Amino acid sequence: MSDVFGARGGEVKRAVRALLDVLYPPRCLTCDAAVTEPGTLCPACWAGTPFITGLACDRCAVPLPGSVADAPVLCDDCGHIARPWSHARAPLVYGAVARKLVLALKYGDRHDIARPAGHWMARAAAPLIRPDTLVAPVPLHYRRLFHRRYNQSALLAARLARVLDRPHCPDLLIRTRATAIQDGRTRAARFDNLRQAIAARPARATRITGRHILLVDDVMTSGATLAAAAEACFAAGADDVDVVVLARVLREDGLNTAT
């Protein structure tokens, strides 16, 4: 009987979807071009989206020259900078279409972008998943959350956890103090700005102890925010921490090389 109701439910959903597509034809996520499926990119935008498909740094996800057969490798920066997490993954390079996607999700109330983005991130992060993995977003300070009304990283984390079939805790971490925006700051200033600014939420701390935490954010630039979040997880007793972001910002000089 449940199979019958399940089949009928599927038929109803498909019928509703078809009706909505007639009334509101699906459009590309970043432009007004018509597409065949909602939540997708048109061919032109897809071609302009910088997906990371080749060799990338195992610790910060920046793309590198070379063959994927050479993995795992570290970039020059990660050969000199201590990262508190073990691995990082990202499906996109921050630029062109990817920048439009991130900004629309972050500031434009485009919650629909989280669905395809979560799938892209899931494919990148899948090799990192363990039976004890708990997915959690980088938190916003409550004042910023009040003004923005949502945490874009939490939207991504929720979709990612659903695709990977892993538990998700949207309020695992908290911002202990408000921090100034990172734009325009040097690498050192970014890390100083975030120092001890993130902690485990006391009521959720027991969910961290002894577990693998997969931290989720929209963009990685210097890694300062993710470093603060990872250190908070380890302070609460995490066994290991990995990170996944939607987009990775490249060095301004473009000289990303392997060690």
Examine the domain organization and report whether 194 and 234 are in the same domain. Answer: yes
- Between CA 151 and CA 13 the distance in angstroms is 29
Does residue 81 come out as left (phi exceeding 0), alpha (psi in the -120 to 50 range) or beta? beta
Examine the domain organization and report whether 31 and 52 are in the same domain. Answer: no
Examine the domain organization and report whether 93 and 197 are in the same domain. Answer: yes
Examine the domain organization and report whether 87 and 122 are in the same domain. Answer: yes
Residue 80 lies in a domain: yes
Does residue 236 come out as left (phi exceeding 0), alpha (psi in the -120 to 50 range) or beta? alpha
Examine the domain organization and report whether 57 and 15 are in the same domain. Answer: no
- pLDDT for 17: 46
Examine the domain organization and report whether 29 and 61 are in the same domain. Answer: no
Examine the domain organization and report whether 138 and 224 are in the same domain. Answer: yes
Residue 146 lies in a domain: yes
84: CATH: 3.40.50.2020
DSSP designation for 30: S
Which 3-state string (H, E, C) describes 147-190? Answer: HHCCCHHHHHHHHHHHHHCCCECCCCEEECCCCCCCCCCCHHHH
Residue 253 lies in a domain: no
Question: Per the structure block, which two tokens stand in for 4?
Answer: 């019958």
Examine the domain organization and report whether 178 and 93 are in the same domain. Answer: yes
Residue 257 lies in a domain: no
Residue 230 lies in a domain: yes
Examine the domain organization and report whether 101 and 165 are in the same domain. Answer: yes
Number of domains into which the chain is organized: 2
Residue 200 lies in a domain: yes
- pLDDT for 4: 47
Determine the structural domain holding residue 137 and report its residue range.
48-248
Residue 258 lies in a domain: no
Residue 22 lies in a domain: yes
One digit per residue, the tens of pLDDT, for the chain of length 259 reads 545 445 566 666 666 545 555 556 889 998 889 998 888 999 999 999 999 999 999 999 999 999 999 999 999 999 888 899 999 999 999 988 999 999 999 999 999 999 999 999 999 999 999 999 999 999 998 888 888 889 999 999 999 999 999 999 999 999 988 776 666 667 677 767 677 789 999 999 999 999 999 999 999 998 989 999 999 999 999 999 999 999 999 976 555 665 5
Examine the domain organization and report whether 112 and 5 are in the same domain. Answer: no
Examine the domain organization and report whether 155 and 109 are in the same domain. Answer: yes
Examine the domain organization and report whether 166 and 206 are in the same domain. Answer: yes
